[in-house]
Amino acid sequence: MIFRAVIFDLDGVITDTAHLHYQAWKETAAAIGITIDPTFNARLKGISRMASLALILRHGGKERAFDEAERARLAARKNARYGELLASLDSRAILPGIPALLDALAQHGIAVGLASVSLNAPFILDALGLRARFDYCVDASLLRHSKPDPEIFLTACAGLGVAPEQAIGIEDAQAGIDAINASGMRSVGIGDDLQGAGLLLPDTGALSWRCLQDFWSTPPRADAPVN
Ligand code: G6P
Ligand code: MG
């Protein structure tokens, strides 16, 4: 199978905004008497805004205390604060290894996609100065299912005009690795606590054109997840 595309997650792969999401959620949760800590926050990686709020309310034993309209207000409050925290974002926040990899992918004619559930993704790519480097970005507002459902990666493949079997997905969240594997793409995980990644790298600094090529030319492991 020919290697034709790489589809990136955003938060934790292109840039790291997890601490800003955490700060904004922490303040929003505190305002309704719920305390969250970094360990809990790790569970929100790759999870959509409303699903994150639902987890926080459950964590605080308050899942029945807020109706839909109140939840929408809480999510809007969190997002407004997150937007304030994002204001200083610029190209210095691009994670190591990413600019060189994007250059190499362009040089070799590999299509580049973005599969982020963040509704702020277009703004973040603009702030990082990277929007033009992506051939297709999934519009998260049109998705029916969140990661670990493969919908977002399948939508990205369709948008790029490639088959999932011709693409690599790169993710830092378990829900994302599960989504990539379920799509029929090959998965690269960033971090140390991910199950089922076809290739697991400690951080984005270890990503390179060479390592993706080597990975592509290695047959999937016999114990790799069945797609
Ligand atoms: C990413 C982050 C999640 C965040 C989600 C939605 O996947 O890893 O922590 O909840 O995006 O982000 P948004 O910007 O739409 O609130
Ligand atoms: Mg992520």
Q: How many CB atoms lie within 10 A of CB 171?
A: 29
For residue 173, give the ligand 1 atom closest to its CA. 8
Q: What CATH number does residue 11 fall under? A: 3.40.50.1000
pTM comes to 0.93
Q: What is the pLDDT of residues 92-143, one digit of tens each?
A: 999 999 999 999 999 999 999 999 999 999 999 999 999 999 999 998 998 9
Q: Does ligand 1 come within 6 angstroms of the Cβ of 11?
A: yes
For residue 119, give the ligand 1 atom closest to its CA. 15
Q: Please report which confidence band the pLDDT of residue 161 belongs to, taking 50, 70 and 90 as the band edges.
A: very high
Domain of residue 120, residue span = 5-15+93-217
- Is 146 annotated for ligand binding? no
Looking at the structure, do residues 134 and 198 belong to the same domain, yes or no? Answer: yes
Q: Please report which confidence band the pLDDT of residue 1 belongs to, taking 50, 70 and 90 as the band edges.
A: confident
Looking at the structure, do residues 62 and 120 belong to the same domain, yes or no? Answer: no
Distance from residue 105's CA to the centre of ligand 1 (Å)? 26
Q: What is the pLDDT of residues 70-98, one digit of tens each?
A: 999 999 999 999 999 999 899 999 999 99
Q: What CATH number does residue 52 fall under? A: 1.10.150.240
Q: What is the residue with the minimal CA distance to atom 7 of ligand 1?
A: 46
CA pair distance 204, 170, nearest whole angstrom: 10
Looking at the structure, do residues 155 and 100 belong to the same domain, yes or no? Answer: yes
In a domain, 177, yes or no: yes
Count of domains for the chain: 2
Q: What is the residue with the minimal CA distance to atom 13 of ligand 1?
A: 118
In a domain, 166, yes or no: yes
Looking at the structure, do residues 132 and 105 belong to the same domain, yes or no? Answer: yes
Looking at the structure, do residues 71 and 98 belong to the same domain, yes or no? Answer: no
Q: Does ligand 1 come within 6 angstroms of the Cβ of 76?
A: no
Q: What is the residue with the minimal CA distance to atom 1 of ligand 1?
A: 46
Point out which residues pair with 111 in neighbouring strands: 5
- Spell out the residues 6+ positions from residue 17 whose beta carbon is closer than 8 angstroms to its own: 11, 86, 89, 93, 124
CB distance 167 to 157 below 8 Å: yes
Looking at the structure, do residues 33 and 125 belong to the same domain, yes or no? Answer: no
Phi, psi of 101 (to 5 degrees): -65, -40
Looking at the structure, do residues 57 and 155 belong to the same domain, yes or no? Answer: no
